[in-house]
Amino acid sequence: MQNERVTSKFTTGKAFLYGISVCGLQFFAGYVNSFQTQFYSDMYSALDAHIFYAVAVIILVAKLLSCIADPIIGSMIDRSNFKKGKMRPWIAISTPAIAFLTMALFIYIPFGNLPGVWSKLVMYAYITVTTVAWNISFSLADIPSQGLLSLLSQDANERNKTAGIANVLKSIAGSVTGVIVTFVMLILTKMTGKDSTDFGFVKTYYLVTAVFIFVIAGGLFILNYFFTQERVRSYTSKTVSFKEMFVELKRNKMMRLVFISILIGFSRGCVGAVVVQAGGVLIGAVKIPLLSDLLAGGEALDPTSNATWLTGLTSAITSMISLVIVPFVNKKFGEKKTFILFALYGFIIALAAMIFYLCVPEGSPMRGGLGALILVWVVEFFVGFMYGTHGYSPVVMTADIIDYQEWKTGERREGVDYAILSMANKIAGAFAVGFGILMVAISGYNSNAVITTKMQNVMFLAYVMMPGLGCLLAMIPILGYKIDEKTKITMRAELAERRAKAEAVQE
């Protein structure tokens, strides 16, 4: 492949541009992961009171089935020969696909008008097909988006800085998604005079929000096609298959450790799957002086509808702080020690919070309303720090592993390695979402349920303790990670010499 020669300097501004584009992809993921099951509950619970159980299984199976697409996508990327680069054109291709499919997930269809058992069969068939298709489109966007990081610069420090910036912006995107939903809810309430108690209003609000996400997220994500440049040339053109991925995992120990770490630490992602439901169970409707007057005409704010951003507010702040801190800690101690430090912190703080919550008696002000909101904010403030390495470290490690394998074997395998990373994230995400929704179902929650202490304890377990346990489990494989700073210095020097020779030959 003959990529264009890039001579311009890789600046911090360009690193931010990459991060802003990644932020757009996170808008899609944040909206779907947080609101998909709540949408089904609001729209179709009349058809099936046990829809949470069914959706948990469907999303799990759909996400696992969509993994079949990962090696196919990785193969297409590795064999591609576009003039605009290896990764960037795939971002342009994937943007409209994920944008339109995100809207398709939130279009209400009156399945109840179908006769008899057909109403449920067609409803669940539609949910399954659209969920599988959305996850395939996400892989089509995610693999080249992550793979682009390894081609932005030959300097690992610049890549690490870029990954840090991208993860800060991704964390912001996760919080802003809830703000967008709230904004749409408030605007529609002002325009129509209706609220979340009206079925037609709720149906419209989900769709309008999806359109907002379509415009904002799609516009940001495609920036990487128009404004970024691939500075590392890649000449790989091998087919990626499941067999090739398994072979790569077998021979590439470092990639195998990252893969296993993501899988066994899947419960770190439970928080995103239950955040909306957790707000309803742990806090419920709450009146906040001045804020309720400003945003809800003096009425209570509901973290499942007109104030979804309330839950997760302080964890978003501390997550962003930790994402700023992590690159500096990482530079001093290395990926391995940094990962272990944050993992141990996450487990200890989550366990302490869980024990404390179990001791809160029934009827306590901390079991509902403003007191509960303050408790959740305090817990989230400390828990939020544990997510600092959650998205940052695997991406940085994979970029280093690609260089490490090139140094050892002479081959760069961006397509296959990032397909492995994407598949690991997808499988872990499937288990996280499926397990989280299952915990919601086990708790007995639905939009009409009477909140009980048992329900709250189960939800707190899913919302706080399970992510902490996931941090601890994810740490175990990383104990064997061996690409330290000394190794990086040696391999960077030798790779720079090889690349200079390759450039001279190409000229």
User: What's the predicted TM-score (pTM) here?
Assistant: 0.73
The two tokens of residue 137 are 């489109």
Model confidence pLDDT, tens digit, residues 21-62: 988 998 898 888 878 888 888 888 888 877 877 887 888 887
Question: Which of 421, 359, 326 shows the shortest CA–CA distance to 70?
Answer: 421
Q: Average pLDDT for residues 233-251, to the nearest whole number? A: 72
Continuous segment of H or E residues that includes residue 159: helix 156-192
Residue 32 neighbours by CB under 8 Å, 6+ apart: 102, 105, 134
Band of pLDDT at residue 4, cut at 50, 70 and 90 = very low
d(CA 60, CA 62): 6
Continuous segment of H or E residues that includes residue 287: none
The two tokens of residue 446 are 């639905």
Cβ–Cβ contacts within 10 Å for residue 128, how many?
Answer: 17
Phi-psi region of 363 (alpha: psi -120 to 50; beta: other; left: phi over 0): left
Contact 212, 187 (CB under 8 A): no
The pLDDT assigned to 31 comes to 87
Class of domain 12-228+239-506: mainly alpha
Question: Which of 358, 446, 329 shows the shortest CA–CA distance to 52?
Answer: 446
The pLDDT assigned to 382 comes to 93
Band of pLDDT at residue 7, cut at 50, 70 and 90 = very low
Model confidence pLDDT, tens digit, residues 302-357: 887 767 778 877 877 787 787 778 878 888 888 899 999 999 999 999 999 999 99
Question: Which of 167, 231, 222, 143 shows the shortest CA–CA distance to 396?
Answer: 167
Q: Average pLDDT for residues 187-202, to the nearest whole number? A: 80
Contact 168, 320 (CB under 8 A): yes
Q: Is the pLDDT of residue 506 over 70?
A: no
Inter-helix orientation angle 392-409/485-506, to 10°: 60
Q: In sequence order, which ranges of 238-312 are alpha helices (DSSP H)?
A: 242-251, 253-264, 270-278, 291-296
The two tokens of residue 408 are 């050892």
Model confidence pLDDT, tens digit, residues 178-189: 777 777 877 887
Model confidence pLDDT, tens digit, residues 366-407: 999 999 999 999 999 999 888 878 777 888 888 889 888 888
Model confidence pLDDT, tens digit, residues 350-362: 999 999 999 999 9
d(CA 247, CA 499): 26
Band of pLDDT at residue 276, cut at 50, 70 and 90 = confident
d(CA 218, CA 234): 27
The two tokens of residue 2 are 């003959």
